[in-house]
Amino acid sequence: MTDPQVGQLLALASAVCFAMSNTFIGRTSQSGGDKGVVFSVMVTVVMSLALWLVFEGLPSRDTISVPALWAFALAGVCAMVFGRSLLYESVRRLGVSRASAVKRLNPFFSVLLAALILGEAINGRDTLGMVAIAAAFGLLIAERGVGKGAKGPADISAKAYMFGVFAALAYALAYILRKIGLDLMPSAAFGTLVSAVTGLAVFGVRAVVSPVARGHLLGVFGFLDRWVVLAAILMSAGQILLFAALAKEAVSTVVMIASLEVFLSIFLSVVVFRTERRPGAFVIIAAFLATVGVILVAS
């Protein structure tokens, strides 16, 4: 099996893990504290450390790239701190189906950031894809007040969608930074470890200056339930698998396969675990449009 094929399988496995994690995050509303965000980062640290030591081993001085370490660290701030915190809040406020659809703004921002940071050109298909993704988001906003979906769209404020929008932006920037780091130092588990440790350090700094953050950090194990633990494990596994996929396959292909997450999330939350009612037509159309947009961007 070639590296690109392995990367595609890893991306698919990542999408499954993220979809299951989204479903369990929707159930963490019963938990206290930060609902498992810091705990999920701790799990990522432990899992990536174990994978690094078992499969990659300690890097030699010649293989360590300082710019790559900076890229991994900044990716950690974007994904582990901002992305993960905002995503957890988005799922709880919007529901799994709607939050997963909003998360498809990720490739929209990825293309823009790749053009601005990496100098990649935006072609006609990119433009059409971005329009489709933007239209999908517009449909979700328009759904408010039109019938009842999985979480009562009339009760969801437009401001609530911003958690998902900024989560997508944070993850998109993390994708770019991860790819830069992996090009300089192709070590997926080590890169994930650096990102997770950096994210945990940021939460520690926040705890020093914020009494609320300090309470969340000190009580991180006191608010655990099975949904928090399952969401954290699956989120961490998805993160590591995605990192590994980016090391073996192009960002565009990984993003395209990852877009399956929205349909997997809807299927799991509605059919398998039955944590939500069937989403309305607006959400289904928005998910379809967003996926078409991702395919156009990735192609």
| 130 vs 256: CA distance, rounded Å | 13
* Nearest alpha-carbon partner for 17 in 245, 195, 201: 245
CB distance 139 to 102 below 8 Å: no
pTM of the model: 0.81
* Nearest alpha-carbon partner for 10 in 243, 250, 298, 261: 243
- pLDDT, one tens digit for every residue, the chain (299 residues): 788 888 889 988 998 999 899 888 877 765 666 778 899 999 999 999 999 998 887 777 777 899 999 999 999 999 999 998 998 888 888 888 788 878 878 878 877 887 888 777 778 887 888 888 888 888 877 765 444 444 455 556 777 889 989 999 998 899 889 889 988 998 888 999 999 999 999 999 999 999 988 888 888 888 888 888 999 999 999 988 988 888 887 776 777 777 778 778 888 888 787 777 777 777 788 878 877 887 777 66
Buried b (16+ CB within 10 A) or exposed e, 122-151: eeeebeebbebbeebbebbeebbeeeebbb
CB distance 191 to 182 below 8 Å: yes
Amino acid at 275: T
By CB neighbour count within 10 A (0-12 exposed, 13-18 middle, 19+ buried), where does 212 fall? exposed
